[in-house]
Amino acid sequence: MSAALKLTDLSKTFPVGKRLFGAPKAGVKAVQPLSLTVEKGETLGIVGESGCGKSTLARMLVGLLPPTTGQIEIDGAPLDNADPATFGQKIQYVFQDPISSLNPRKTIRQIMESPLRYLHGMDAKARTARIAEIFAAVNLREEFLDRYPHEFSGGQAQRIGIARALAAEARILILDEPVSALDVSVQAQVLNLLADLKKKFGLTYIFISHDLAVVEAVSDRVAVLYFGSVVEVGPADQVFAAPRHPYTKLLADSAPVVGRPLAVPEAKETELPDPLNPPQGCAFRARCPRATEVCGVAMPPLETHDDRVASACFYPY
């Protein structure tokens, strides 16, 4: 296997308190320098709670946000500072809200034609043929092409979003909460479709979600994000079944599971650390049952424990 996507020290700091000219007053580190590798044909799940930097990371990966540091390599070739159109042919994005990712004033045909036209310069005849091909692959009827987005259910709209991403002929798809807006029965339909497409076109997925069960069901490997850093990464069947990092354990214990009594994994109210005033040392310290003074001094590095799981904690389970 070779790496489809390689991130090296990728980070993003958002300026806050901007001034008209000159440097901003402060910065929020939405994504701390992180390095990850995604193999060809792999599905890497990314989980974490709201505000932990999932979408910022995703938007950097498709070129919608310039990274503050680090670089992105696709198939061994670096891709920094390119514009979204260059990214678009290699890596595409499927959005969380299927309806709002489609322009309400365009027909589905116009929406589908954009990537063919502007990324691949196809003529009208080639476009029609290609759209027919893609629609067949995602089980959509061609008569939908002349309708407007509001005429579709969430599940159908998400298929259209996936079809648009396929039209760009990128081999890597970033799926940002692709099923969280859908009902469970439709969610399963879309997840199964994604699995089929992956096999058929040899795609590589980065699957972002806050739903641990969904991520576990679809991913080969999972990375857990907390406060902009990867705190644990490893095979999907191990990360939640036998968490090493205390935060991963907290997540796994909090998820409601049939047949497990209601547990209160965190007794006291705790808030996420303040991004404007980040804590010293381990960001999870205030919530961590295993924390000691050591944790307040330095950031724990992401270390591999056996060859499969890596976690960023001084006292892993």
Partner 1 sequence: MSFLRLLSRNRLALAGLIVMSVVVLLAALTPLLPLPDPDVTNTAERFKKPFSEGALLGTDHLGRDLASRLMWGTRLSLAVGFAAAVAAATIGAAIGVIAGFYGGRVDNVIMRGVDMLMGFPYILLALAIVAALGPGLMNALIAVAAVNIPFFARNIRGVTVGIAHKEFVDAARLCGMSNARIIITEVVPNVIPVIVIAMSTTVGWMILETAGLSFLGLGSQPPQADLGSMLGEARSALITNPHSSVVPGAMILVIVMAINLLGDGVRDALDPRLKSGALSRPMPTTMVRRTDPVPQPEGDGILSLRDLQTQFHVKDRIYKAVGRVDLSVRPGEFLGIIGESGSGKSVTALSIMGLVASPPGVITGGAVHYKGEDLIGAPYATLRRLRGDRVAYIFQDPQATLHPLYTVGAQLIEAIQSHHRTSTSEARARAIELLKSVRIPNAEARVDNYPHEMSGGMRQRVGIAVALANDPEVIIADEPTTALDVTVQAQILALLGDLRRERGLAIIFITHDFGVVAQLCDRVAVMYAGRIVEEGPTDAILNAPAHPYTARLMACVPELGQGRRQLAAIPGLPPVVDKLPAGCAFADRCPKAASACRSGDIALGALGPARKIRCIDPEIPVQEATA
Q: Which of residues 183-242 bind partner 1 (CB under 8 A)?
A: 183-189, 191-192, 195, 210, 212-214, 216-220, 236-237, 240-241
Q: In this structure, are residues 311 and 244 in contact, taking their beta carbons and an 8 Å threshold?
A: yes
∠ Cα 127 128 134 (to 5°):
85
Integer Cα distance of 195 and 137 in angstroms: 12
Q: In this structure, are residues 158 and 190 in contact, taking their beta carbons and an 8 Å threshold?
A: yes
Footprint of ligand SF4 on this chain (CB under 6 A)? 246, 282, 284-285, 288, 290-291, 295, 300, 313-315
Select the residue interacting with partner 1 from 78, 118, 201, 297 (CB under 8 A).
118
Whose Cβ is closer to ligand SF4: residue 16's or residue 242's? Answer: 242
Whose Cβ is closer to partner 1: residue 136's or residue 255's? Answer: 255
Select the residue interacting with partner 1 from 42, 61, 95, 228 (CB under 8 A).
95
Integer Cα distance of 156 and 149 in angstroms: 9
Q: Could you tell me the strand order of the sheet in which 221-226 lies?
A: 91-94, 172-176, 204-209, 43-47, 221-226, 229-235, 310-311, 303-304
Q: In this structure, are residues 243 and 265 in contact, taking their beta carbons and an 8 Å threshold?
A: no
Among the listed ranges 31-39, 68-76, 113-121, 123-131, the one in contact with partner 1 (CB under 8 A) is 113-121
277 interface partner picked from ligand SF4, partner 1, none, CB below 5 to 8 A per type: none
Main-chain dihedrals φ then ψ at residue 147, nearest 5 degrees: -100, 170
Whose Cβ is closer to partner 1: residue 257's or residue 294's? Answer: 257
Select the residue interacting with partner 1 from 53, 67, 88, 316 (CB under 8 A).
88
Is residue 262 involved in binding partner 1 (CB under 8 A)? Answer: yes
Whose Cβ is closer to ligand SF4: residue 133's or residue 303's? Answer: 303
Integer Cα distance of 245 and 130 in angstroms: 46
Q: In this structure, are residues 238 and 309 in contact, taking their beta carbons and an 8 Å threshold?
A: yes
CB of 214 to ligand SF4, least distance (A): 25
295 interface partner picked from ligand SF4, partner 1, none, CB below 5 to 8 A per type: ligand SF4
Integer Cα distance of 272 and 201 in angstroms: 40
Whose Cβ is closer to partner 1: residue 136's or residue 294's? Answer: 136
- # chain residues binding partner 1, by CB under 8 A: 80
Among positions 275-314, residues that touch partner 1 (CB under 8 A) are: none
290 interface partner picked from ligand SF4, partner 1, none, CB below 5 to 8 A per type: ligand SF4
Neighbours of 26 (CB within 10 A): 12
